[in-house]
Amino acid sequence: MKRQLHLNLFIHGRGHHEAAWRHPAASPLALTDISYYVEVAQRAEAALFDSIFMADQLAVGGDVAQAPRTWLEPITVLAALAMATQRVGLIATASTTYTEPFNLARQFASIDHISNGRAAWNIVTSWLATAAENFGAAGQVSHGDRYDRGEEFMEVVNQLWDSWADDAVIDDRTSGIYARRDRIRPISHRGAFYSVAGPLNMPRCPQSRPVLVQAGSSDTGRRFAARHADAVFTAQMAKKAAQEFYADLKKLAADGGRSPEHILILPGLSPMIASTEAEAQRLAREANELTDPEVGRKRLSGRFGGYDFSRLPLDRPLVPEDFPDPRTVQAARSRTEVIIDLVRRDKPTLRQLLSYLAGARGHYVTAGTPEQIADLIEDWFNTGAADGFNIMPPLLPAQLDAFSQGVIPILQCRGLFRTEYVGKTLREHYGLPWPVSVFDDPAWTGELREAAAGV
Ligand SMILES: Cc1cc2nc3c(=O)[nH]c(=O)nc-3n(C[C@H](O)[C@H](O)[C@H](O)COP(=O)(O)O)c2cc1C
């Protein structure tokens, strides 16, 4: 069988386009109505997507008057979606900077149990400056400190997920033994940021550990992803940059002793699809005409850690000097580099830049026929730019349906995408190995066994 593509659906508002929420083709349901998320997730499952994903930010955006978000807390949403779907993987974002590892390990293990092995966690360090103010921090936690904390966080959650052996629960009514004490171990973690005794207060989850997703793109972020991620989301505006990113992450993973095919690279793709290219472009223009440059300006400022763009004229070509040095940005640093690269290459005016970013916030935006979108996907997939895509429909659910009914059948005909689910878990959909239990590790000695048994 040919190497298979992986497709994730990124659910964001009523679509990824900045003006999607007010577009006539977008869902009429409220963004706080769980039936909206259920409907979209069920459509994704019917189309055989590997997974669906929900992002999260821990503060209201300054642009809230004209820009709604996917408001509901994503782990809670996954619990509801787990009951309304059977096969599609379920990915939610949670922060290593503003969560305790014990809580998070427990929540994702619960989702993995509830969904019978379909849970995944998008690990973020939370770049939004205003998030810090909601958690007692005096100001933005620096980029480096966030990743240092994230590193220790991963050590703790991985140990917690490993703290029960697969066979720890016997549940034997005859002997009166529920669990084998020697197959459950404390973790006794003492580090710079966390102190956690363990074990987790829950049996090992169906996938052993939830699947781990990450989207760091800076040097530090890439190294973090190469160490921990099973799948990596990334925003790329050109194939060449996507190829460089792909090669770099695969190399970093291999250098760290991992098998490169066990870390999937999924760039974002936001396609506006119609039966002719002219119609697809008309739809894209129609959505762009609903945007407000002042909303875009505020969002751009948020990306650059609150930098003031209010005096930049809308209609003069931009130069890199109009932006702060990305190295000084404590927010989503890599996205700022992507934006400055675009300015250097295409010299857009601020109005043009904001219009492009309105499409999908710096991800690859295109408009075309199903055939053209399938060609693009196949090309990136076969030339070392992607293992699959993070599909970001500009309008939901209309453009998800256009993708599912138009593009997926072409990918299936070309033998690139499944025609039915084979596995039941997300780990199987993504073709990932099963993590080895620490209890099956030869280093798991008699001394440790005794500690776990509490003797
Ligand atoms: C597809 C995608 C989804 C993301 N989702 C979130 C999110 O939900 N919450 C968040 O705080 N950051 C999110 N990010 C930002 C990344 O976690 C990361 O901070 C960003 O790409 C900058 O990389 P860096 O941290 O290495 O500088 C996302 C990034 C991408 C590409």
Closest residue (by CA) to atom 21 of ligand 1?
Answer: 216
User: Which of 7, 70, 78, 127 for a ligand 1 pocket mutation test, highest count of atoms within 8 Å of Cβ?
Assistant: 127
The pLDDT of residue 445 is above 70 = no
**Residue 12's pLDDT band (cuts 50, 70, 90):** very high
The predicted-structure confidence for 122-175, as pLDDT tens digits, reads as follows 999 998 888 999 998 767 788 999 999 999 999 999 999 999 999 999 999 999
* Ligand 1 atom having least distance to the Cα of 124: 17
Query: pTM to 2 decimals?
Result: 0.93
The pLDDT of residue 446 is above 70 = no
The pLDDT of residue 198 is above 60 = yes
Element (H, E) at 319: none
CATH of 6-291+362-453, one of 3.20.20.70, 3.90.420.10, 3.20.20.30, 3.90.1150.10: 3.20.20.30
Secondary structure class of 269 (helix, strand, coil): strand
The predicted-structure confidence for 398-424, as pLDDT tens digits, reads as follows 999 999 999 999 999 999 999 999 999
The predicted-structure confidence for 300-315, as pLDDT tens digits, reads as follows 988 888 889 999 999 9
* Ligand 1 atom having least distance to the Cα of 334: 27
Taking alpha carbons only, the member of 363, 175, 155, 138 closest to residue 267 is 363
Query: Which of 6-10, 95-99, 352-356, 424-428 is predicted with the least confidence, judged by mean pLDDT?
Result: 352-356
The pLDDT of residue 216 is above 60 = yes
Taking alpha carbons only, the member of 29, 49, 53, 48 closest to residue 39 is 29
- Domain residues of the chain, as ranges? 6-291+362-453
The predicted-structure confidence for 310-331, as pLDDT tens digits, reads as follows 999 999 999 999 999 878 876 6
Task: Report CA(206)–ligand 1 centroid distance (Å).
Answer: 27
Q: What is residue 455's predicted lDDT score, i.e. its pLDDT?
A: 47
User: What string of DSSP letters covers 263-318?
Assistant: SEEEEEEEEEE-SSHHHHHHHHHHHHHT--HHHHHHHHHHHTTT---TTS-TTSB-
Question: CA-to-CA distance for 153 and 97, rounded, in angstroms?
Answer: 9
Secondary structure class of 196 (helix, strand, coil): strand
CB 90 within 8 A of CB 250: no
